[in-house]
Amino acid sequence: MGMIITIDGPAGAGKSTVARALADKLGFHYINTGDLYRFITYCAILDNLNVNSAQLMDRLSLKIVEKYIQENSDIDLLSHINSISEKLHSPEVDKKVSFVARHSSVRKNLMSLQRLLVKDGSVVMEGRDIGTIIVPYANVKFFITADEYTRIMRRYKELQEKGYQITFSEVKKEILCRDYIDSRRETAPLTQPEDAIFIDTSHQTVSEVVEEMLEIVRRLKDF
Ligand code: DC
């Protein structure tokens, strides 16, 4: 049985960047669960579906997630998701993903897949409900956040660098709307796990945060 590290937190906290770097340093697998929800959202957009429909999961023409779970070929799904990463991080997906992620049918489907992904080996898995619902038995849990302005600014700069024509106030609206839905939905809302280590990344560089996490992991697990 490997070591499981979870990182939860709101949009723009810096989860993906530090989770990837931490996994890299430890030689662990890195799993970004937000991309799974983004993938379902992207498929729903392609299928022209109403993201507010509770039947969304049944209506998707591509039963991709179920198919991959049955065939136990999760690695192919992840490679596919990786290959379309740019499309999954578009402002259109940003705007709709929280509406998709609040459906319990969507979460149920992805829960089995996420548990399958942590079955073997050591992983750093990031998301919103990883330490609370998906892997409550994880070895080390982090909850990372940053102040509102910092989180919005990070996302704004990221989209600008990718060439999207978007204003700061549009990004602000999108981030605050996602925060609101993600932390208030009925099923598996974003909350800090009781046993998680809290890190505020507002005034720290990526390497400072990663070093702090590494230090904690080594101390807790006698690495
Ligand atoms: O990590 P991210 O910002 O790329 O995630 C996109 C959305 O996916 C997020 O706003 C809510 C949803 N999500 C979730 O509900 N549960 C997770 N474990 C991960 C993401």
182 Cα nearest atom in ligand 1: 11
Which of 16, 33, 155 to mutate for ligand 1's pocket (most ligand atoms within 8 Å of CB)? Answer: 33
Q: Does any ligand 1 atom lie closer than 6 A to the CB of residue 31?
A: no
Helix ranges, 89-167 (H): 91-101, 104-117, 148-161
Nearest CA to ligand 1 atom 3: 11
Distance in angstroms (rounded) separating the CA atoms of residues 74 and 53 = 26
89 Cα nearest atom in ligand 1: 4
Q: What pLDDT is attached to residue 86?
A: 93
Q: What pLDDT is attached to residue 14?
A: 93
pLDDT tens for the 223 residues of the chain, in order: 689 999 999 999 999 999 999 999 999 999 999 999 999 999 899 889 999 998 888 877 655 555 555 555 555 778 888 889 999 999 999 999 999 999 998 998 889 889 988 987 899 999 999 999 999 999 999 999 999 999 999 999 999 999 999 999 999 999 999 999 999 999 999 999 999 999 999 999 999 999 999 999 998 876 4
Q: What is the pTM (predicted TM-score) of this model?
A: 0.93
Question: How close is the Cα of 222 to the center of ligand 1, in Å?
Answer: 31
Question: How close is the Cα of 144 to the center of ligand 1, in Å?
Answer: 14
Strands 140-145 and 4-8: parallel
Q: Does any ligand 1 atom lie closer than 6 A to the CB of residue 98?
A: yes
Question: How close is the Cα of 214 to the center of ligand 1, in Å?
Answer: 24
Which of 97, 109, 123, 184 to mutate for ligand 1's pocket (most ligand atoms within 8 Å of CB)? Answer: 97
156: left (phi over 0), alpha (psi -120 to 50) or beta: alpha
Q: What pLDDT is attached to residue 56?
A: 87
Q: What pLDDT is attached to residue 186?
A: 94
Q: What pLDDT is attached to residue 22?
A: 98
Distance in angstroms (rounded) separating the CA atoms of residues 13 and 150 = 8
First to last CA, the chain: 15
Distance in angstroms (rounded) separating the CA atoms of residues 1 and 119 = 8
Q: What pLDDT is attached to residue 70?
A: 56
Cα angle, residue 155 at apex, residues 74 and 48 outer, rounded to 5° = 55
DSSP 8-state class, residue 84: T
Distance in angstroms (rounded) separating the CA atoms of residues 147 and 142 = 17
Q: What pLDDT is attached to residue 120?
A: 79
Q: Does any ligand 1 atom lie closer than 6 A to the CB of residue 128?
A: yes
